[in-house]
């Protein structure tokens, strides 16, 4: 067991560092090519932030463990909303001032409902995977158009402009891109090997390990970004980071895994985990809806999200370990 735990820890460390370098290189390269910061943030950064989940999904599916990938995607979305946004809002309430971000929220809800519809027969086929990957392409195009149409003074545009590196040469950007990707691949391989080993020793399903262990680790970069952004008053980044990551988790992570290795789903996925994920998404949508022109995620709402997450995680652990 100790060997598997060390593999998971080493994999997580490499994934976190590799994700940071990969995002840094991708964003800097795009900026050097003249792409607008808002467009970079909505597409390049959002996709790159989900790179750990995507690569874990690819490795797990290639090893014949697609359940690990499905659990990772579902668990990451629950972690991102319950743990990351909950903790962030408790530390500093998050103002939802960006019109661009308000347009992204319904897209996350629609993608979540699409995923649920594909899960209803308890089997994810290659056709389902292709549907999700097609949705990914459509969302990428829509986000690009949204970035081009958004107002220059949108708060999230200022946040991205401040955070995306502008003093990195193209050569260094490419170097960091390659180093980050290589580190992510190694980290994903170690994490999957360790997680599969732990699942076998504890005699629990790959899905559960994906939801609890792998999802926690792959959500750490989002936690760091959201906390840092909120403390700096960059509220658009604090919540936009989560919304974008959750969209890509469902479309890319599950889509890739299902396309590589179709699989049946344990009954608990439909009866509990996917239900909880959609519930968290609906609650976040309701909490951040602009009822009175002052949309925000308050400390009390953050506490509610956090406590709901603790209750869910505690229940899953108690039932399976």
Please provide the DSSP assignment of 15-42 as one string.
HHHHHHHHHHHHHHHHHHTT--HHHIII
Nearest C-alpha neighbor of 3 from the set 183, 200, 181, 211: 200
Question: Is CATH 3.40.50.1010 what the domain over 2-320 is classified as, yes or no?
Answer: no
Could you give the CA distance from residue 255 to residue 130 in angstroms, rounded to a whole number? 6
pLDDT at residue 251, rounded to an integer: 93
Could you give the CA distance from residue 298 to residue 12 in angstroms, rounded to a whole number? 31
Q: Confirm if 306 and 82 have CB atoms less than 8 A apart.
A: yes
Could you give the CA distance from residue 33 to residue 22 in angstroms, rounded to a whole number? 17
pLDDT tens over the chain, length 321 residues: 788 889 888 988 888 888 888 888 888 888 888 877 777 777 777 777 788 888 888 888 888 888 888 888 899 999 999 999 999 899 888 877 777 777 888 889 999 999 999 998 889 999 999 999 999 999 988 888 887 777 666 777 777 777 777 788 889 988 998 998 888 888 888 888 888 888 778 787 778 888 888 888 778 777 887 887 778 777 777 788 788 889 988 999 899 999 998 988 888 788 889 999 999 999 998 888 766 556 778 899 999 999 999 999 899 888 876
CA atoms lying within 13 Å on the CB side of residue 104: 31
pLDDT at residue 151, rounded to an integer: 63
pLDDT at residue 290, rounded to an integer: 65
pTM of the model: 0.87
Q: What six digits make up the tokens of 159?
A: 């946040």
Q: Confirm if 81 and 279 have CB atoms less than 8 A apart.
A: no
pLDDT at residue 283, rounded to an integer: 93
How far, rounded to the nearest angstrom, does the alpha carbon of residue 177 sit from its chain's CA centroid?
19
């Amino acid at each position: 067991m100790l060997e598997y735990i060390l593999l998971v820890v080493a994999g997580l460390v490499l994934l976190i560092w590799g994700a940071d370098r990969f995002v840094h290189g991708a964003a800097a390269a795009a900026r050097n090519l003249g792409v607008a910061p808002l467009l970079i943030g909505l597409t390049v950064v959002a996709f790159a932030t989900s790179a750990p989940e995507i690569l874990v999904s690819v490795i797990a599916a290639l090893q014949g463990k697609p359940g690990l990938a499905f659990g990772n995607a579902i668990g990451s979305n629950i972690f991102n909303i319950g743990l990351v946004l909950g903790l962030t809002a408790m530390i500093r309430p998050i103002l939802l001032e960006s019109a661009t971000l308000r347009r992204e929220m319904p897209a996350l809800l629609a993608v979540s409902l699409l995923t649920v519809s594909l899960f209803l027969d308890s089997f994810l086929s290659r056709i389902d995977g292709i549907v999700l990957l097609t949705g990914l392409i459509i969302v990428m195009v829509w986000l690009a158009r949204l970035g081009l149409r958004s107002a220059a003074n949108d708060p999230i545009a200022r946040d991205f402009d401040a955070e995306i590196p502008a003093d990195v040469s193209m050569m260094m950007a490419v170097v960091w891109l390659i180093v980050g990707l290589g580190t992510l691949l190694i980290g994903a391989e170690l994490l999957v090997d360790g997680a599969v080993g732990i699942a076998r020793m504890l005699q629990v399903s790959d899905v559960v390990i994906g939801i609890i262990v792998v999802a926690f680790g792959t959500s750490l970069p989002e936690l760091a970004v959201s906390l840092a952004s909120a403390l700096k008053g960059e509220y658009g980044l604090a919540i936009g980071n989560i919304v974008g990551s959750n969209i890509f988790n469902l479309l890319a992570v599950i889509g890739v895994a299902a396309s590589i290795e179709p699989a049946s789903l344990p009954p608990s996925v439909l009866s509990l985990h996917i239900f909880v994920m959609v519930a968290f998404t609906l609650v976040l949508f309701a909490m951040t809806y602009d009822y009175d022109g002052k949309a925000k995620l308050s400390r009390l709402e953050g506490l509610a999200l956090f406590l709901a997450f603790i209750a869910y995680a505690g229940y899953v652990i108690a039932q399976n370990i």
